[in-house]
Structure 1
Amino acid sequence: MIRKKSRREESLDHAELARLLPAPGDPHLSLDRHLLLEEHLMSEIQPTAPAPAPSRRPARRALLIGVPVTAAALAGAGAFAFTALTGSGGSGTTAATPPPVEAPVVRIEPGSTAQLASTVEHIAAAASAGKTPEPGPGQYIYIKSKVSYLSVLHTDTVESKTLVQPLHIREAWNSPDGKQGWLDEPGYQPKGGVTLDTDVENSLNAPSYDYLKTLPTDPDALLKKIYEETKGQGNSPDQEAFTTVGDLLGEQLAPAKLNAALYRAAAKIPGVVVVDHVKDAAGREGIALARVDQQSGDRTEWIFDRKTYAYLGSRGVQVKQADDVKPGTVLEYTAVLERAVVDAQKQRPGAQGTGA
């Protein structure tokens, strides 16, 4: 008689077989961490094939947030980024992305509301008096910046480190209607740049110059619209409103009256303070309007020239210990070097154009 093996006998045989095999290795990274590291690698290495058009605005938090990776894995990521691509060839090729560097650490200067009203009025008055170039049909808004954004929040080393992109130049061209554009960011975009052409309708999250001209210039009405249109978008209403105003100040051109209204509206957001001494990405010292994000513990600072009150750039600084990030760590910083209107896409001011 042939006897069938029972389920219990089968499991015993498997158990015996398992004892004869070597024990499986203990992986250094969980599957989730492995996937996140892979995503980080792919973001560091630009594809040779045409990629989707990047955002007109840089991300508020770049690449990899709050996910630790081992030092060995990070070193391997840098080595792979350098050896995978040669950076030579014709249009569409990419050079290796520069490896991230350790984030600078600065002294945290306390903010104050004592001079908030007067400082904002100085900034708004300067914005109103400024001569903003008016882009016409067929022209482009040109913004040249020096930037550095967060790369890895912290690593699993004995001394945890926060890594950021090396300071680099970013140039953007956008048509007044927001439908055509170009972005050139060597090391972070394909060689020669990428198109920003889009059919997306304009909004506060993707504004064009033409859209900005439709916004109210009364600070109360403007702030009400910002709160309404950003409701439920990720952060607290106050922080989201502050962030949205900041996004409209950097890589954009806004009519003078709207600029002044944006500053006066921002002063009405709870938690906004003045910081007396702040440096932008170009090393220019100024005064800042700032607000701490209570969820992440970092402070966003909009930096203005101390004498002219012209907008210089922005900085993000960790002010509260979070995710092993030291207070004073500069997570991102920018400097607007040039803002102009030119006659053609990829044209720079002074090159047969109408730079202003």
Structure 2
Amino acid sequence: MDELKLIAERTDSVPLAESCVLGPARARLMAEIAAAEAENVVPLKKRRRWVWTGVGAAGLAAAITAVVALTPAGLEPPAATADPVAVLRSAAAAALKTPGTPPKPDQFIYTKTKQPDGERESWISADGTHDGLIKMADRGSFPLPGCRNGQAQVYKGEEPLKGVTEPCTPRPGYRVDLPADADAMFAHLNAENAGHSGEKGDYHAMGKDILALVNENYLPPAVLGALFGAAARVPGLRAVDRAEDAAGRPGVGITWPLGPHHDPKVAKPVVIVFAADTFLYLGTNSTAVTASGVVDAVGQRP
């Protein structure tokens, strides 16, 4: 019997699943494929041949019927069926494919984010030596003085104090100083945690560091990939198939584990959200990155 005819007969009486159900399933499939590609486990073409070898028309029709009828109309699918490690590895693989043109030292990393207290815009010096700015919708502007010759201008509010400086270390927005390997990145983040809280393995603190890096910095593709690869090593992660960032954009989410002193009955975990089709980072359930880019001057937008 013709394969297409058999498939049509098998699925003719089966109602199609709604897009809200198929979306998470597609995200899971793409996550597994991207994760396998990232690890070079089996070449994609060879894997496809191996998967379908020996599957006859009847078996293929039964498989498609099962997918179509997986979730009858009106029933809720499982809340979290995606693999959080696969999602983060897919995000790492997607990061490696993003353009990575280095900014010039005198340029600025621009980011617009939506936060609980309103919109925030930042202009961070690419090399950390030029004066940047943070602008918040309801709270005004905050200068980010550049660090030149080991000294930074001191401000009172938005006004510089004449002749008053303080010792500093440049804090560049373009982070080429970070590891480009997932293992090395994980060790670096753990060391940073020990410096902040005095103890390694504080994954809640690590999550804060990861979000601070990815939200308002420009990371080379290899560094961004290493960051998500390091995140995949954190225990206690969970996936949320249908998540939304603070701007209401849908995607697949990863819940970050709470800190050791948080009450799980009161504290809500942070959900890191990625686009379900591309696995590009969108933001979290409390902060969404809505625009970013490299500009030549404070006040400019990409």
Bin of the TM-score, shorter chain as denominator length: 0.5 to 0.7
Is contact 1:217–1:261 with CA below 8 Å preserved after alignment? yes
How far off is 1:198 after superposition? 4.3
The Cα offsets for residues 279-331 of structure 1, whole Å up to 9 and x where unpaired, read as: 1121101111221314223311111111111111112xxxxxxxxxxxxxxxx
Report the equivalent of 1:182. 133
User: Structure 1 residue 314 and structure 2 residue 284: aligned?
Assistant: yes
Give 3-state SS (helix, strand or coil) of 1:233's partner.
Answer: helix
The one-letter code of the counterpart of 2:188 is K
User: Structure 1 residue 249 and structure 2 residue 219: aligned?
Assistant: no
Distance 1:233 1:194, change over 3 A: closer
TM-score of the pair, normalised by structure 2: 0.60
The one-letter code of the counterpart of 1:310 is L
* CA distance in 1 between partners of 2:124 and 2:218 (Å): 10
Equivalent in 114, 120, 123 of residue 170 of structure 1: 120
Equivalent in 58, 74, 93 of residue 125 of structure 1: 93
User: Structure 1 residue 264 and structure 2 residue 229: aligned?
Assistant: yes
Report the equivalent of 1:142. 110
The one-letter code of the counterpart of 1:254 is L
How far off is 1:215 after superposition? 1.5
How far off is 1:138 after superposition? 1.8
Is contact 1:133–1:340 with CA below 8 Å preserved after alignment? no
Q: CA-atom RMSD, angstroms?
A: 2.1
Please give the residue correspondences for 1:222-233 in structure 2 after superposition, counting only pairs within 5 Å: 222-231=185-194, 233=196
TM-score of the pair, normalised by structure 1: 0.52
Equivalent in 331, 339, 349 of residue 292 of structure 2: 339
Report the equivalent of 1:197. 145
Report the equivalent of 2:42. none
Is contact 2:125–2:146 with CA below 8 Å preserved after alignment? no
Worse-matched range after superposition: 122-131 or 289-298 = 289-298
* CA distance in 1 between partners of 2:257 and 2:85 (Å): 18
Sequence identity percentage: 30
| Runs of 4+ off more than 2 Å | 109-112, 198-202, 207-210, 232-236, 294-298
Equivalent in 282, 292, 307 of residue 247 of structure 2: 282
Greater gyration radius: 1
* CA distance in 1 between partners of 2:208 and 2:134 (Å): 22
Structure 1: unaligned runs, 5 residues or longer: 1-108, 149-164, 316-332, 350-356
Distance 1:139 1:198, change over 3 A: closer
Please give the residue correspondences for 1:59-138 in structure 2 after superposition, counting only pairs within 5 Å: 115-138=83-106
* CA distance in 1 between partners of 2:113 and 2:294 (Å): 15
How far off is 1:201 after superposition? 2.2
Structure 2: unaligned runs, 5 residues or longer: 1-77, 148-167
* CA distance in 2 between partners of 1:287 and 1:308 (Å): 10
